[in-house]
Structure 1
Amino acid sequence: MAINGIQFQKGMSLAQFMKEYGTEAQCEEALVKARWPDGFRCPRCAHRLAYEFKRGATRYWQCKACRYQSSLRAGTVMEHGQLPLTTWFLAIYLMTQSKTNIAALALMRHLGVSWKAAWLLKHKLMEVMAQREADRPLEGCAGR
């Protein structure tokens, strides 16, 4: 029997994941790079220059042109969440590494959050994944 290439795709081990995204600062920098790969871009006027400052533990960017303030989580699925970025990143990792669906109860145990928080987190992530793939429906038959 031939080896199924899909089953043996290279992935990221949990140890490697923790090394790259194990701290809040690492997750924050990864999110900055993902949101603004070419540097900050104002969501309102698309200007490139901004002042960066912190209010409490939250980083903000204020556009130098229109003075619009934006945070790293603004406009994302994490916008109104109180969970740390490390929890969001680990939930994303666990959900995407599972070949079958992961239960909210399992997420609760792995993340150390309440069942209600795990359920909400899971459903928010499933919704964004569904929105992301909505314009690419599966079609056709395999092997033809």
Structure 2
Amino acid sequence: MQVNIKTLIDDRQCYETVRELRWPEGCQCPFCDSKRGFNEKKPAKQRYECKDCGKRFDDLTGTIFAGHHQPLKVWILCLYFMGLNLSNRQIAQELYLDRTDVQKMTTQLRESVVKKTTSNPRRRS
């Protein structure tokens, strides 16, 4: 019996972790820093509506994970495999994805890490 690692990762836990890392003081509107909202249809991924500016957003709005067709858990696994120093080909095999999709994902993730590191000088070592 072959087990796909994607089925072992919990969507709810991925979103909870993103929320905890992104908003340690509680959810904030990425547009005006206010708070509000919840999406009953997808309990893992929450949607918000800002009481102040009225704009809608979700847990991933304004992040590297927003607007992509791959689920959050696939991005998290991709990051994990990158940390293990797997090649794009190996990651594609592990996640049952096309190598060109994995190439785009790893490029975006690396560029995001570099951008974050260079924009926050305290993080450099």
Does TM, normalized by the shorter one, top 0.5? yes
- Aligned partner letter, 2:9: G
- Other-structure match for 2:21: 34
- Aligned partner letter, 2:14: C
Q: Which runs of 5+ in 2 are unaligned?
A: none
CA-CA distance at 1:59 after TM superposition: 2.6
For the pair 1:70 / 2:57, whether they are aligned, the reply is yes
CA-CA distance at 1:103 after TM superposition: 2.0
Q: Which runs of 5+ in 1 are unaligned?
A: 1-17, 140-144
Aligned residues between the structures: 116
For the pair 1:52 / 2:18, whether they are aligned, the reply is no
* RMSD (Å), alpha carbons: 2.5
TM-score normalised by structure 1 residue count: 0.70
- Partners of 1:37 and 1:90 lie apart in 2 by 22
Relative to its length, the structure with more helix (as a share) is 2
Same amino acid, percent of matched pairs: 21
- Aligned partner letter, 2:70: L
Asked if the contact 2:48/2:57 (under 8 Å) is kept, the reply is yes
- Aligned partner letter, 2:16: E
Larger Rg: 1
- Aligned partner letter, 1:66: C
| Structure number with higher relative contact order (C-alpha < 8 Å, ≥ 6 residues apart) | 2
- Other-structure match for 2:11: 24
Instruction: State the 4+ residue runs in structure 1 displaced beyond 6 angstroms.
Output: none
For the pair 1:119 / 2:103, whether they are aligned, the reply is yes
Relative to its length, the structure with more strand (as a share) is 1
